[in-house]
């Protein structure tokens, strides 16, 4: 007969023996104070739920892994200071920087991926943007791709390709962006070329800021539209359905006029900046 006192003793002994059971076979083993070997601290922006965490439900834990909304008043990258084309609004005027991340490598597969995935121009079509784009295009692209985008730029014209005379200054034919193939290509094709160049063409990521690259692409689209007698402007785009005309409301800038709704021109200008920021960073 077992004495009363031995019952708790046997129970305790069994508990003790089973508590530190070794893992093996299909048994994971049991752990004493598991939070000593598994951290319940969470990694920021990384969902690593651990069932033994003690300070929240799984849903709460998940919420910690999701990116947060930026703090009110956050300025998107490249938007500190004055970014309008005419450098006229208040604020510190300097060219926005180009340090917006680009998640595509300089390889053929990645070029194809960029073309498939980058569809929208994050900036709406504005007259001011087109003017900036034209200026930059003339400086950086037109010398090869031609004032009209036909691939007959100054450097190539000198070579006189009509006579197959390759003795000119620039040895290869720059793309003729008025070809159907280019008109039908997504904006990613252009953006990727600006970032890395292609074959004999060098990249322009260090010369053109994020916004400037997109304004150059707007200008190229406007050249394509012009070649087909279509519209591509702040008010109308009949070239494609992707690029969005900003409409009358974005009418610019420097005259301190009142529009129909009674807002001051300056306020309007700020509004369009916010919009740019939103579009380009999500
Ligand atoms: C020094 C001459 C030169 C300059 C300047 C130049 N390019 Fe090019 N570009 C070329 C050549 C050459 C090709 C053809 C590359 C190939 O397909 O081998 C090309 C090809 C392209 C293509 C087609 C790429 C493709 O997917 O087939 C685009 C788009 C383009 N350039 C855009 C631009 C833009 C925008 C600029 C200005 C920021 C610019 N280029 C400046 C020479 C130039």
Return the half-sphere exposure (C-beta side, CA atoms, 13 A cut-off) of residue 260: 4
63's tokens: 């919420």
Burial tier of 224 (Cβ tally within 10 Å: 0-12, 13-18, 19+): buried
Residue 193 · residue 202 · CB < 8 Å? no
- CA angle, corner 112, sides to 188 and 236, nearest 5? 25
Q: Which of 154, 182, 201 to mutate to test the pocket of ligand 1 (most atoms within 8 A of CB)?
A: 201
Q: Whose CA is nearest to atom 12 of ligand 1?
A: 174
The CATH code belonging to domain 108-280 is 1.10.760
| Tens-level pLDDT at each residue, the chain (282 residues) | 556 778 888 888 777 766 666 777 777 777 777 767 766 666 677 777 777 766 778 888 888 788 888 888 777 665 655 444 444 444 444 455 557 889 999 999 999 999 999 999 989 999 999 999 999 999 999 999 999 999 988 787 665 667 776 655 677 889 999 999 999 999 999 999 999 999 999 999 989 988 899 999 999 999 999 999 999 999 999 999 999 998 876 554 444 444 444 444 334 344 334 334 334 333
Distances (CA, A) of 260 to 89, 119, 251, 265, 270: 20, 34, 12, 11, 17
Within the chain, where are the H helices?
A: 6-19, 58-65, 108-117, 127-140, 142-145, 154-157, 180-184, 187-196, 210-227, 265-280
pTM: 0.63
Q: What would the DSSP string read from start to end of 77-98?
A: TT-SSB-STTS-SSS-B-PPP-
**Are the C-beta atoms of 217 and 191 separated by less than 8 Å?**
yes
Tell how far the Cα of 152 is from the centroid of ligand 1, in angstroms. 12
With tokens 């970032």, the residue in question is 195
CA distance 258 to 123: 24
Pairwise CA distance, residues 170 & 173, whole Å: 8
Atom of ligand 1 nearest to the CA of 185: 26
Show me where the domains of the chain are located: 108-280
Ligand 1 pocket at CB < 6 A: 140-141, 143-145, 170, 172, 174-175, 189-190, 193-194, 198-201, 204, 216
% helix, strand, coil for the chain, step of 5: 40, 5, 55
């Amino acid at each position: 007969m077992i004495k009363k006192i031995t019952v708790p003793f046997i129970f305790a002994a069994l508990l003790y023996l089973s508590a530190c059971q070794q893992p093996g076979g299909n048994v994971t083993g049991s752990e004493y104070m598991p939070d000593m070997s598994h951290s319940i601290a969470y990694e920021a922006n990384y969902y690593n739920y651990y069932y033994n965490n003690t300070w929240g439900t799984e849903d709460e834990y998940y919420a910690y892994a999701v990116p947060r909304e930026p703090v009110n008043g956050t300025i998107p990258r490249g938007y500190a200071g004055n970014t309008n084309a005419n450098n006229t609004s208040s604020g510190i005027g300097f060219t926005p920087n180009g340090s917006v991340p680009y998640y595509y490598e300089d390889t053929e597969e990645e070029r194809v991926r960029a073309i498939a995935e980058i569809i929208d121009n994050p900036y709406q079509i504005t007259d001011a943007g087109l003017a900036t784009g034209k200026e930059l295009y003339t400086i950086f692209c037109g010398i090869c791709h031609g004032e009209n985008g036909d691939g007959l730029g100054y450097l190539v014209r000198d070579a006189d390709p009509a006579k197959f005379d390759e003795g000119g200054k620039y040895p290869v034919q720059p793309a003729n962006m008025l070809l159907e193939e280019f008109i039908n290509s997504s904006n990613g094709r252009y953006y990727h070329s600006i970032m890395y160049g292609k074959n004999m063409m060098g990249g322009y990521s260090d010369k053109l800021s994020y916004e400037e690259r997109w304004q150059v692409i707007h200008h190229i689209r406007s050249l394509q539209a012009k070649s087909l007698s279509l519209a591509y402007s702040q008010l109308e785009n009949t070239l494609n359905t992707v690029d969005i005309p900003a409409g009358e409301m974005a009418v610019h800038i420097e005259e301190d006029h009142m529009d129909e709704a009674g807002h001051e021109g300056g306020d309007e200008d700020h509004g369009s900046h916010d919009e740019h920021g939103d579009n380009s960073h999500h």
